[in-house]
Amino acid sequence: MNWNEPKFDELAKQDFLRAEIVADLRAGRYDGVHTRFPPEPNGYIHIGNAKAIWLNYCIARDFGGKFNLRFDDTNPIKEEKEYIDSIIRDVAWLGADFEDRVFYASDYFQQMYDFAIDLIKKGKAYVCELTADQISEYRGDYNTPGKPSPWRDRPIEESLDIFGRMKNGEFPDGSRTLRAKIDMASSNMNMRDPIMYRILHASHPHAGDKWCIYPMYDWAHGLEDSIERITHSMCSIEFENHRPLYDWFLIELGTYRPRQIEFARMNLSYTIMSKRYLKLLVDRGHVTGWDDPRMPTVSGMRRRGYPAAAIQDFLSRAGIAKKSNTIALEVLEHCVREDLNRNAPRFMGVLNPLKVVIDNLPDDHVDFLDAVNNPENPEAGTRKVPFTRELFIERDDFMEVPEKKFFRLAPGREVRLRYAYFLTCNSVIKDSQGNITELRCTVDPATRGGNSPDGRKVKSTMHWVSASKSVSAEVRNYDKLFTVEDPMGQEKEFTQFLNPESLTVLSDCKVEPATADLKIGDRVQLERLGYFCVDLDSAPGKPVFNRTVSLKDSYSKIQAKK
């Protein structure tokens, strides 16, 4: 490929990562682009991980290269098959096409072991018998150089022998480690004889029981990229100080070396971006699971109803930076709302039903009215909505003694029913406790379709559903999981800022009968109420709707203030 073509000049202008890659290609350092997303399977991936996924995939796509999904599965104690399966599913759903390239660090364990033998033979690694606490003590700190382990100059043959016995399971957990011999006085703490292997008698979710020594992340990570011939290893900024160690390993081994480039993590307001703390929420029962629609996991967002295309749009808008930044949650919701406004079909539903009886219609009246499926897409067509003598409207759409700016239904007042008729409230029925149970109304038959032939106007249009033809549903209204923008930046533990109103369940909602044909995962707009997604807890004849986002767009107000 001719990397001097003008299209690559345009790519270089997009961000500093693409600019560096174009420079590498034009300098002949690499003859193509091969990227990867290397998750540790110790939890479900979240929106912060999604940025890394989409970045690595799009860069490979833009340069006509390849993109791998590769599990850094070096710690069997924290890793599970459930997490592996969820990550494969979520990366594919997000749209990052890894084709058939799903790899595992554990597939390279033998190669890594052989590489370790090479370093021992070169006098660049040794078996150490210090405890974990002693290693930490000997390491020193940023103001104090470390001191060498008593086993640092252990004879090569002795280290080879003990390392082989470690592999064969002769020693208990934590009794010995393999360490690189680098520089105990280095200003970079990562270079102070880092641990390469530790003993763990634990079953591995992918490799099974074959191994009882496991490579440390810093030893494995660069080797994995080297083995897979990754050209550009895009890492978040906290790995910048690890880069000299990755390079040292590969240089000492004399093997292929990718180029690592760091970029800033993305933070999202009212959210936490740590699998460790997300797992804590799950384990303590603050949420129902990793896919709880309040969670910032890709699985949770999918279940809530966020379209993959909307997340892609959000990640593109978030951009690529060299310093950490926090994006307003409203930006993500804006992207979701824009996508659903274009693509989600419209239905009517009533969340807090109040019965309306139309006295000037017969008991068996059924009228099928035309309703628009999506005004943003004329090709979506129309549907038939049944109109009967008894209806449900929102309880909040009626006020017996209306306030000054309340324009919806009240005694003696006329309103428009969406797609239907002008409706007038004539009387109010209450129970023995004074609660309103029913409204007695009339319609103007001449206003069928929602317009008056004499040109009179009404100030409000209300949604409704037929009482006899509607479907009962549960609606779960979701809000922010936390009450503060930065839950981790507070003096108290982040769980102290969980939003007690992040989930409100309404169990006696009514939706129009056409919703019975919806499938799990389908997204809709319930007119005047918001965008919703059919949840996996739905049962035949009893759908469950998760509110994805409200209709109100607070992002526009944020933009207007800038």
Instruction: Answer yes or no: do 202 and 332 share one domain.
Output: no
In a domain, 270, yes or no: no
275 is catalytic: yes
Instruction: Answer yes or no: do 231 and 121 share one domain.
Output: yes
pLDDT given for residue 558 in this prediction: 54
Q: Which of 2-16, 120-134, 185-199, 547-561 has the lowest mean pLDDT?
A: 547-561
Active-site annotation holder among 36, 70, 275, 294: 275
Distance between first and last Cα of the chain: 43
Residue where one domain finishes, among candidates 436, 463, 490: 463
265 is catalytic: yes
In a domain, 404, yes or no: yes
Instruction: Answer yes or no: do 375 and 507 share one domain.
Output: no
Mean pLDDT of 334-343: 97
Q: Is the pLDDT of residue 455 over 60?
A: yes
390 is catalytic: no
**Which residues form the domain of 515?**
275-344+473-561
The CATH number linked to 389 is 2.40.240.10
Q: Is the pLDDT of residue 562 over 60?
A: no
Q: Is the pLDDT of residue 321 over 80?
A: yes
Mean pLDDT of 478-485: 97
* Helix 47-62 and helix 16-26, axial crossing angle in degrees, nearest 10: 30
Active-site annotation holder among 61, 78, 147, 265: 265
pLDDT given for residue 555 in this prediction: 55
Instruction: Answer yes or no: do 358 and 332 share one domain.
Output: no
The pTM for the full model equals 0.93
Instruction: Answer yes or no: do 211 and 253 share one domain.
Output: yes
In a domain, 490, yes or no: yes
Band of pLDDT at residue 561, cut at 50, 70 and 90: low
In a domain, 3, yes or no: no
Instruction: Answer yes or no: do 72 and 153 share one domain.
Output: yes
Q: Is the pLDDT of residue 319 over 70?
A: yes
Mean pLDDT of 56-83: 97
In a domain, 25, yes or no: no
In a domain, 145, yes or no: yes
**Residue 174 corresponds to which tokens in the numbers above?**
């934590």
Q: Is the pLDDT of residue 195 over 90?
A: yes
Instruction: Answer yes or no: do 446 and 516 share one domain.
Output: no
Q: Is the pLDDT of residue 560 over 80?
A: no
Q: Strand pairing of 465-466 and 366-372? A: unpaired
pLDDT given for residue 1 in this prediction: 85
- The residues pairing with 386 across neighbouring beta strands, listed in sequence order, are 368
pLDDT 10s digits, 33-47: 999 999 999 999 999
Residues near 415 by beta carbon (within 8 Å), at least 6 away in sequence: 407, 408, 409, 422, 423, 458, 459, 460, 461, 462
pLDDT given for residue 324 in this prediction: 83
Instruction: Answer yes or no: do 176 and 254 share one domain.
Output: yes
Cβ-in-10-Å burial (0-12, 13-18, 19+) of 180 comes to buried
The number of distinct structural domains making up the chain is 3
Annotate 342-375 with b (16+ C-beta within 10 A) or e (fewer). ebbbbbbbbbebbbbbbeebeeeeebebebbbbe
Q: Is the pLDDT of residue 541 over 90?
A: no
Instruction: Answer yes or no: do 286 and 307 share one domain.
Output: yes
Mean pLDDT of 353-367: 97
pLDDT given for residue 170 in this prediction: 97
Mean pLDDT of 67-76: 97
Share of the chain above pLDDT 70, in %: 98
Active-site annotation holder among 18, 40, 167, 294: 40
The CATH number linked to 183 is 3.40.50.620
In a domain, 313, yes or no: yes
pLDDT given for residue 323 in this prediction: 87
Q: Strand pairing of 66-71 and 436-444? A: unpaired
Instruction: Answer yes or no: do 362 and 479 share one domain.
Output: no
d(CA 430, CA 245): 76
Instruction: Answer yes or no: do 353 and 340 share one domain.
Output: no
pLDDT given for residue 286 in this prediction: 97
